[in-house]
Structures are given as structure tokens and as C-alpha cells.
Chain A
Amino acid sequence: MAKIILDRLAQQFVAGEILETGSQHGNEWARVAPAHWRAVAQFLRDDAVAALNMFIDLTCVDRLGRTPRFDVVMHLYSVDKKHRVRLLAGLPEDDSSIDSLVALWPGANWFEREAFDLYGVHFVGHPDLRRILMYPEFVGHPLRKDFPKEGRQPLLRRLPGSVD
């Protein structure tokens, strides 16, 4: 597969914004420094060569034991060029926050809410960062690797302002 997108990224970002790139099973991927997450995404969306205008997916991976612990993973697609890319950004456990992309793609809204709900990643600038699949009273982020698979949590109404 032609490495148009990765070449374009290497051309544009020379100051260490892109940490690593690669290609596996026909998927091209680039690891982005979290501070430049939004800038890189915006460039890929607006650039005429990459033209990755369509938002496809955003999720998170918990790589427990690795530093940084979390990876935010996004997939973008170009409707015109018919190519796609995977962007990853590593986030440490103690400061798992990254810029929200809702202003670039409105569709990112629910996907970021889901990553927040299930992994506890914070998206800075998200207009409505609430739980989406779990109920508001739920405590913890169930897809973290250190969250037990078995267990019950009674549905308790907590007082407004209490910490979850």
C-alpha cells in the first residue's frame, strides 16, 4: 500500500510531533505526541493530499504494565482518496487527558464519551463528557484491565457533587 499519508505526515511534522509510524496487515498507523493530537488530526482532515475527512472510529486500549499505560486510537477515512489511517496517542495513567476532536468531527462526541466511560480518559474541551453505556451512578471504568470481570454494584443514587 502506498504510504502517501505517512510520507505526508513526515513532510509536515518535523519537530517530534510524530513519534513513530508503521504499517501492518495493510493498516498504516502513526503514533502522535498527545500534545499535538488535535493539530495532527486537523492537518490530516484539511490537507488536500491526505484528505482524511471522514471520522470512522475512536477508542482506547489499556496496555497495563506499559508506560504510558493508555493508547487513544482513532481511525480516519478519506472519502475521495479511499485510504485510511490509524492514529495512536499514548497517555500516562496519572494524566490521561487529551484534546477533544468534537470541534473537528461532530461524530467524535459519542465515541469520546464511550472512551471516557469505559477507560476514564478525559477529553479536554468535550462539550458533554458524561457516561454513555454505563449508568451515571456506576463507579469505575470497566474496560480497564485492572477492573474485575465479575462483581456487582448496587445502583445507588449519590448526592450531587460526590466523587465517583
Chain B
Amino acid sequence: MDDSSQTARRVVMGFGDAANLPDDDELPTESMPLNMGPSHPAMHGTVRMVLEVEGEKIRSADVQIGFLHRCFEKEAENATWTQIFPYTDRLNYVSPMLCNVGYALAVEKLLDIDRKIPARAQFIRVIVGEISRITDHLTCLAASAMELAAFTVFFYLMKAREWLWELLEEVSGARLTHSYVRIGGVVADLTDDFCPKLRDVLRRCRAAIADADKLLTGNRIFRDRMDGIAIITRDDAIGWGLTGPVGRSAGLDYDVRKDHPYLVYDRFDFDVPVGSKGDNFDRYAVRLEEMRQSMRILEQAMDLLPAGPVLINDARVALPPKREVYNTIESMIAHFKLIMDGIVVPPGEIYSFTEGGNGELGFYIVSDGTGQPWKCRVRPPCFAHTAVLNKVLPGLFIADVVPTFGMINMIGGECDR
């Protein structure tokens, strides 16, 4: 073996003579277990990883979840259909609106009113949903950038996220746990100057995202940690059930908004970015582009936003207006029945799926015809994404865990429910 081929195999270190370092194979190492988490400064979310490492190299990984399990399903089985909305807020808590919408659509299909939702309510759901998608991706990219020491980017993106959350707070009254969507529509109309404010926020968000793009995409330190790390293939995505940005970055061209349009998504012109390599950088790039596409959708939705009611006029599901509750006996009784007994959903089963912040957010609901669901299962996209870590981590270095975990974007509330 000549000298040049040997040096080519070795990592060039900052100090000393790389050529004099012993080979990886020659270095005597003993494997040892390394425990990361459940609470680790570089891991957002409580997750425990038991790694078997040889030196810096990971030989096997056992990712353990469940630290944020709050019995979503058990609670849902003991709540009325309307009372479940606050629980859905706490699934993916960086994009609660998308969980609200996904759950509402599932129940509406069971009630057979999904085609009767007022047009304005559908547009509002798209608008608040796409704002939530942007906040979801902003959180993911900001946290990951911070973990890779790009603290400036963290502040730029968090600031942008706050502008968007201020708008959602304005329409729903809550910064994070909105509970804004109702079965049959949304609880209240947008505020009067919502659209001009949103246009202004989008302009500023574009600038913030462009800044982050410039700071990260061409940044050598960032690229070295992201390029070619934790490659997921298209076949992996299909076999492991990976959807959303993680699936698309692996080349799986599947977006529920495009392939199975719901609400009014078929009326908007937007692109679905797809990756080619399936590495960490592709997952970053796909999310960056998706935010820009969401802004396109938002601008079109604001242009097309029709006037009209925001809640279905159906006494079986919608609370009557307060004015009538206080003045007519029929409305008062209807209000009482809807609050005490809940909406009565006919017996049946539904699997309804939407594009959540992380991928296909499915609700599999079984109704036995009473005021409470018999079963309310949520198919969390990042449950599947976190599972694939067991496959992609072996072979990487310990330092690669942080960007890989960041780009998988596990949201504890959604993964553990």
C-alpha cells in the first residue's frame, strides 16, 4: 500500500500529523454503553438513547420514548367530542392548529358534514394551519441551528415564530394551545385587520428566513455536520412509514395536500420540494423550501378568502349564538344538551389523514353512537420517524446524534401522546 492511499482514508485533524495516527481498525477499543437523555441539553424533548459506542463510533442504538405519555387516548375515550380539542393542541405543541384541523375533519367525516363546512371556515383553517406549519419548521430549524452553535440563526427564526404566534394569539386568545377549531368550522372569525398584519409578518418572515438561509446553507461548519449524515433511502421511507419532510427528503414524493387534497388545498398553486440524497442537509433544505411554499399558499388564501359564516348552521353540532341562548328556550336547551351530553356522532369507523407539521397525521376514530368516542387513535408521524433512528444511528459518530435527532424533529407530545 503506498502512502497516498493511506492518507486518503484518514481524517485530517487540526493538529499533529494525520498520517501518523493509527488506523481505525488498529485502534484497540472496547464497546461501552452511553446513555443520552432522557434529559439532555442538546436534545429538545425528553427521549432516552442508549448507545453502544466504540470510541466515538455508534455500534447500536436503542431509542426509548414514552417520557411524555399523557394517555391521550384514554382521556379522549372519557371526554365528549368537543372536549378533545384541547388534548389535540397538546399533541404537536409547535403546530397545534394542524392537529385541531386534522381531528375536526375526522369527526366531520363521521358526521357526514365534511362537505357542508362553510367556505370561509375552510379557508381560515388553511390559513391558520399553514401558519402553524411555518412555526413548526421554524422551531425545528432554529433549535437545530442552535445545537450546531449557530445561535444567531436561533434568534432570527424564533423572532419570526413569535410574530406568527402573536397573530394566532390574536385570533384564538392563546399563544400556544389554541383550541380554535370546532367541529363544523372555527370558533370565531379572523380579526378585522388580520390579513394586512399577516402580509406584513410574512414579509418580515421572508427576510428572517433568507437571513437564516444565508447564514446556514453556505456555512462550512453547518454543512460538514449535515451533508451525507444519516442517509435515509426512499425504500426505508416506504417500509418505515416515513412521511412529511423526512419522507420527502428521502425522495418519497408524498404530500397529503397534493395527493389527497382536503379543505381547499386543490385551489392553491404550490410546489412540493423533494430531496435527492435523504441526508440531514436534505431534511433541512426541504423544510426551508416548505416554509416558502406555505407562504405562497397563505398569500393566495388571503386573496381568495370569501365572506360568510365560519361555523356550520347545524343545531346537532354547532353551539347557537349567545344572543339566542339567552333569549330563546330552544337555543338554551340546545346549548345545554351540546355541553352536557356532547355532540352525538353516529356509529362508524374512520381513518382520516392530513398533512401535519411532521407528516401524515392520521386519526382513526371508532364511534359507538354516544357522546364520547369508543376509540380515538392518533397516528403520529414522528413516532415512525423516531423509530427509524435505531436504524440510521449505528455507524455514525456521537456528535452526529444531535443534528440527526434535530432533523428528525421528534415532538414529544405527538410521539408519546
Residues on A facing B (Cβ under 8 Å): 24-27, 29, 53-57, 59, 61-63, 73, 75, 79, 82, 84, 86, 105-107, 109-111, 114, 118, 131-135, 142-143, 149
Contacts and interface: CB of A to CB of B under 8 A. Distances in A.
A62 to B, nearest CB: 8
A55 B259 contact: no
A107 B379 contact: no
Given A53-B238, A106-B239, A24 B348 contact: yes
Interface residues of B, number: 40
Given A82-B260, A106-B391, A56 B74 contact: no
B241 interface: yes
A105 B239 contact: yes
Contacts of B239: 54-55, 105-107
B71 interface: yes
Contacts of A143: 73-74
B336 interface: no
B38 to A, nearest CB: 11
A133 B416 contact: yes
A133 B254 CA distance: 28
A4 to B, nearest CB: 16
Contacts of B238: 53-55, 79
A142 B366 CA distance: 18
A56 B240 contact: no
A79 to B, nearest CB: 6
B73 A29 contact: no
29 contacts: A25-B348, A26-B109, A27-B349, A27-B350, A54-B238, A54-B239, A55-B239, A55-B241, A57-B351, A57-B377, A61-B366, A73-B364, A75-B364, A75-B379, A79-B254, A82-B259, A84-B351, A86-B349, A106-B239, A106-B240, A107-B384, A107-B387, A110-B384, A110-B387, A111-B384, A131-B66, A132-B65, A133-B65, A135-B66
Interface string B236-279: 00111110000000001010000110000000000000000000
A110 B383 contact: yes
Which of A54, A55, A106 has the most CB atoms of chain B within a 10 A radius of its CB? Answer: A54
B59 interface: no
Contacts of B240: 55, 105-107
Contacts of B252: 79
Interface string B356-369: 00001010101000
Given A59-B379, A79-B252, A106-B239, 20 more contacts: A24-B349, A25-B109, A25-B110, A25-B349, A54-B239, A55-B238, A56-B360, A57-B377, A59-B377, A75-B351, A75-B364, A75-B379, A79-B254, A84-B351, A105-B240, A107-B241, A111-B383, A114-B383, A133-B66, A134-B69
Contacts of B375: 61-62
B78 interface: yes
Contacts of B64: 132
Given A56-B379, A59-B377, A110-B383, A149 B110 contact: no
Interface in B323-357: 348-351
Contact of A57 (B69, B110, B379): B379
Interface in B298-329: none
Interface string B59-95: 0000011100101011000100000000000000000
Contacts of B260: 82
B241 A57 contact: yes
